[in-house]
Amino acid sequence: MNRFIWRGQRKDWELKSSFDRYFYYEGLLTSKIREEILEELFNNFKEKLEELKQEDPKKLNKIDFSNLEERDKNAIWVIGRMYFLPTPTIDWTEDPYISAYFAFFKKSKEKHFNRVVYAMDIITLKKLMLKIILKRHCERVGIKGSKRYVEIPDINREILDDDIINRLEKQKSVIIRALNGIDIEKSVIKLVEKKSEYLEQKRIILAKIFISNELRNKCLNYLKQEYKEKITHIKLFSDYHGAVESCKIDIDFENNN
């Protein structure tokens, strides 16, 4: 894996998973309650998938719901994320140009604001967070395990269907989990403040790049026409969803959903 991974955001939202944007607010919920809500959501989604499997045995026939290992659970979260379920995973990519596409492809009613692209040194970040915060945080909230802050989860791709695997590959996806629910950007700032040598070495752990929304058309045109890999929605989503979104982009359809 490349040292830096990238994430594009349509707005300057907190750097959190979709689950934590919906359900977890630091200071209002404890980490233990967060884990309970997360478990409830997972079990509910698993029940729905079991119903789907019963309706059509050919669907999800690779998943044995009676004996799920941790890597199987991570794969189920990936399935949910692909279809917009709030999950504890955060989507990144190894390609900065793909992250720029995801930052810009949706049109907005607002005119004067910035799109955001993050670059994260995942190797240094994992070492820092695991060494400094992990043990103390886990002991405080009573959560067992060695990977409870940030990780690249082990995903059993054997139970994913071909469409999802195709998406992951085309988007050069890197799935990470920020497991305490706190904004990763805030966490990095706190870590660097404690480890001043990283400031002295001028090592970039997390970079936040602001790009004016006024450059949207120029950016999308470059990615579609001039960039060597020709990034479009059809390229990243080779299915009906990709065709629909590509059409909406071409006609400059405004969509804030």
pLDDT digits (tens, 9 = 90+) for 119-176: 998 887 777 665 544 444 444 444 444 444 577 889 999 999 998 999 999 999 999 8
3-state secondary structure of 151: strand
**pLDDT classification of 24: cutoffs 50, 70, 90:** confident
Each residue of 166-204: pLDDT tens digit?
Answer: 999 999 999 988 777 888 888 888 777 776 665 566 678
In the chain, what are the domain boundaries?
4-214
Each residue of 194-252: pLDDT tens digit?
Answer: 766 655 666 788 899 999 999 999 999 999 999 988 999 999 988 888 888 888 888 87
Q: Hunting for tokens 């404890």 — which residue is that?
A: 30
The number of CA neighbours under 13 Å toward the Cβ of 131 is: 10
pTM assigned to the model: 0.85
Report the alpha-carbon distance of residue 195 to residue 128 in Å, rounded: 9
223 contacts 231 by C-beta, under 8 angstroms: yes
What's the CA dihedral at 68, 74, 76, 77 to 10 degrees?
140
Cα angle at 47 between 43 and 52, to 5 degrees?
Answer: 145
